């Protein structure tokens, strides 16, 4: 088994510091590293063992960071703007790229992180070698909103919020509201990646659980159909919204095969 070195990083970004961690296998210098973008309730810690497994499976350095307001990164004032998906590409990711000296990279985004990966790649050109989305959304559909409404009701329970506070501290309520109140806002209803995906020049792999509670199979189908660099979709039988946690071996195999010649 390849030796993997881990390192923590602090990144100075607009409005505060971002926490990041990297997993670097020996001999990975020649391959573009993978940068991971977490979901709406996510953080570096909530990726659990997956970054290390990903580094082992691909032989690439893996970098994950907490978006501003999440995990160990600084808190932020107010809920995100309605264009927060695109803002991640414009306002925050450049600081990650520059301070971690990422000349080229592969982007991997889970859920809304997949949309952020697409927004970054659309602006990056050849700097971005490939995009991988897991359970990503390309538009707001009724299936997505129904799942979010159910989640919002669950997080009215103090016990559920306390579980989330283990990862986000006193930012936990902000994290929930930043997700539910933004996505459920009528002003967000017309959000989509339709104008973003055709601007991708890198190849794309979309992984999606057959039973995903926050997006139907129409989501990855749309992502791959519109991807300007070409896209491939894999529907994972029996998986829900966390396939990298539910069936990591299958997910890792798909990713390793996709990246084999990149």
Check residue 253 and give its pLDDT: 98
226 phi and psi angles, rounded to 5 deg:
-90, -15
Check residue 14 and give its pLDDT: 87
pTM above 0.95, yes or no: yes
Check residue 2 and give its pLDDT: 86
Check residue 183 and give its pLDDT: 98
Check residue 87 and give its pLDDT: 98
Q: What is the pLDDT of residues 59-85, one digit of tens each?
A: 999 999 999 999 999 999 899 999 999
Q: Name residues of the chain where pLDDT drops below 70.
A: none
Beta bridge pairs of residue 42: none
SS3 103: coil
Domains identified in the chain and CATH numbers: 4-259 (3.40.50.1820)
Q: What is the pLDDT of residues 21-47, one digit of tens each?
A: 999 999 988 899 999 999 999 999 999
């Amino acid at each position: 088994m390849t030796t993997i070195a881990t390192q923590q990083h602090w990144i100075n970004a607009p409005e505060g510091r971002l926490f990041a961690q990297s997993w670097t296998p020996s001999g990975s210098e020649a391959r573009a590293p993978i940068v991971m973008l977490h979901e709406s309730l996510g953080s570096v810690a909530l990726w659990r063992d997956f970054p290390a497994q990903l580094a082992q499976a691909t032989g690439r350095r893996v970098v994950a960071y907490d978006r501003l307001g999440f995990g160990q990164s600084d808190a932020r004032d107010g809920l995100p703007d309605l264009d927060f998906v695109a803002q991640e590409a414009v306002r925050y990711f450049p600081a990650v790229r520059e301070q971690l000296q990422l000349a080229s990279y592969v982007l991997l985004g889970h859920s809304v992180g997949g949309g952020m990966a697409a927004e970054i790649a659309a602006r990056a050109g050849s700097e971005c070698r490939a995009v991988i989305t897991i359970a990503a959304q390309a538009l707001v559909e009724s299936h997505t909103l129904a799942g979010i409404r159910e989640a919002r009701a669950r997080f009215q329970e103090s016990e559920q919020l306390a579980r989330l506070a283990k990862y986000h501290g006193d930012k936990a309520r902000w994290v929930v509201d930043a997700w539910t109140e933004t996505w459920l806002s009528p002003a967000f209803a017309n959000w989509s990646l339709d104008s973003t995906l055709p601007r991708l020049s890198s190849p794309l792999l979309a992984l999606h659980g057959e039973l995903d509670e926050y997006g139907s199979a129409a989501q990855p189908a749309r992502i791959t159909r519109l991807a300007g660099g070409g896209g491939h979709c894999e529907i994972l039988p029996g998986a829900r919204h966390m396939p990298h946690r539910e069936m990591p071996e299958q997910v890792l195999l798909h990713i390793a095969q996709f990246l084999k010649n990149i």
